[in-house]
């Protein structure tokens, strides 16, 4: 039984813990460090995992430490973990957006095996999407272990070029918010045309769920699926032409670029503040 320690008990840690437990991982093998008493007690009640106020206590016997804290907190926690890191040489898995492998090595130790990953919140329901990259100290078994942990919450993809991890963050890490914003806009437009809000929300959400399932389960190109829905001179074509006229592709590209640049900026800010 691999001993896991989560440093930070926020939404993403909760997503991963919930996914792991659903795959049969024993709650007794998971420790969580969470400084807020209310959140700590809620984690213990919901998942049955051991929760601690101090990082060093949660990480004491861990073979894998999942760093689930905000990027700006990362430089400050290494001293609390130093004893465990030196004693057990655990596999470190970081889910902090924008934090590079070289930064993690500088803070926690260049000789440690470290995996940087970017999961997303649908991991809570087993539908997550995670990009991972590893430093040269990660052995094949450790790589498989890291993938197993993240696979419990959805799909995983290894990224060989770490520079592309900011793109992964912009695509799948931030992507659920883009989807929710689209559903909000669809719902609001339908309500403005007179549809009751509960019906508008249910129809919009189910439509997006069905379209997503067709895309994932059918394995076909989204362009092919789009074309099948689009009858010449029909309602769908009218909507798509409106999207095109208003520059939907450019809007998405600019949004993705902004998110990617922000990820790089977060990392650069840590270089200057650490």
CA–CA distance from 249 to each of 163, 245, 252 (Å)? 23, 10, 5
Predicted pLDDT at 79: 84
Give the range of the structural domain holding residue 248, as residue numbers without chain letter. Answer: 175-264
Structural domain ending residue among the three candidates 106, 127, 161: 161
How many structural domains comprise the chain? 2
| pLDDT of residue 123 exceeding 90 | no
| pLDDT of residue 81 exceeding 80 | yes
Predicted pLDDT at 274: 54
Q: Are residues 127 and 55 in the same domain?
A: yes
Q: Are residues 157 and 259 in the same domain?
A: no
Q: Are residues 136 and 224 in the same domain?
A: no
pTM of the model: 0.87
Lowest mean pLDDT, pick from 30-44, 50-64, 117-131, 244-258: 117-131
Percent of all residues in the chain with a pLDDT value above 90, rounded to a whole number: 76
Q: Is 141 helix (H, G, I), strand (E, B) or coil?
A: helix
Does a structural domain hold residue 269? no
Q: DSSP for 167-219, please give it.
A: HHIIIIISHHHHHHHHHHHHHHHHHHTT--HHHHHHHHHHHHHHHHHHHHHH-
What number is the average pLDDT over the span 9-23? 88
Predicted pLDDT at 273: 60
Q: Mean pLDDT in the chain?
A: 92
At 86, the pLDDT band (50, 70, 90 cuts) reads confident
Predicted pLDDT at 29: 96
Contacts of 274 (CB under 8 A, 6+ apart): 75, 103, 106, 107
What number is the average pLDDT over the span 19-25? 88
Strand order in the sheet with 154-158: 50-52, 30-33, 4-7, 64-67, 91-94, 114-118, 128-134, 154-158
What number is the average pLDDT over the span 156-178? 94
Does a structural domain hold residue 134? yes
Where does the chain show beta strands of DSSP type E? 4-7, 30-33, 50-52, 64-67, 91-94, 114-118, 128-134, 154-158
What number is the average pLDDT over the span 108-130? 90
Does a structural domain hold residue 39? yes
Gap between the Cα atoms of 272 and 92, Å rounded: 23
Does a structural domain hold residue 166? no
| pLDDT of residue 75 exceeding 90 | no
| CATH code, 238 | 1.10.3730.10
Q: Are residues 149 and 69 in the same domain?
A: yes
Q: Are residues 80 and 108 in the same domain?
A: yes
């Amino acid at each position: 039984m691999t001993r896991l320690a989560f440093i930070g008990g926020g939404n993403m840690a909760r997503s991963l813990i919930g996914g792991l437990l659903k795959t049969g991982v024993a709650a007794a093998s998971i420790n969580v460090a969470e400084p807020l008493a209310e959140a700590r007690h809620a984690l213990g009640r919901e998942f049955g995992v051991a929760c601690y106020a101090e990082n060093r206590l949660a990480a004491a016997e861990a073979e894998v430490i999942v760093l689930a804290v905000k990027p700006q907190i990362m430089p400050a926690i290494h001293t609390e973990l130093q004893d465990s890191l030196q004693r057990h040489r655990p596999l470190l898995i970081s889910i902090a957006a924008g934090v590079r492998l070289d930064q993690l090595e500088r803070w926690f130790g260049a000789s440690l095996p470290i995996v940087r990953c970017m999961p997303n919140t649908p991991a809570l329901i087993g539908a997550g999407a995670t990009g991972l990259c590893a430093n040269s100290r990660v052995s094949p078994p450790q790589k498989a272990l890291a993938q197993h942990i993240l696979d419990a919450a959805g799909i995983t993809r290894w990224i060989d070029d770490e520079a592309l991890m900011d793109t992964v963050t912009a695509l799948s890490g931030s992507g659920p918010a883009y989807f929710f914003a689209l559903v909000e806009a669809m719902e609001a437009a339908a309500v403005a045309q007179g549809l009751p809000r509960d019906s508008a929300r249910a129809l919009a959400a189910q439509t997006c769920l069905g379209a997503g399932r067709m895309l994932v389960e059918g394995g076909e190109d989204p362009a092919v699926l789009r074309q099948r829905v689009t009858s010449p001179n029909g309602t769908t074509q009218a909507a798509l032409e409106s999207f095109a006229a208003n520059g939907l592709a450019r809007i998405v590209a600019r949004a993705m670029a902004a998110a990617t640049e922000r990820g790089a900026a977060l990392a650069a800010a840590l270089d200057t503040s650490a």
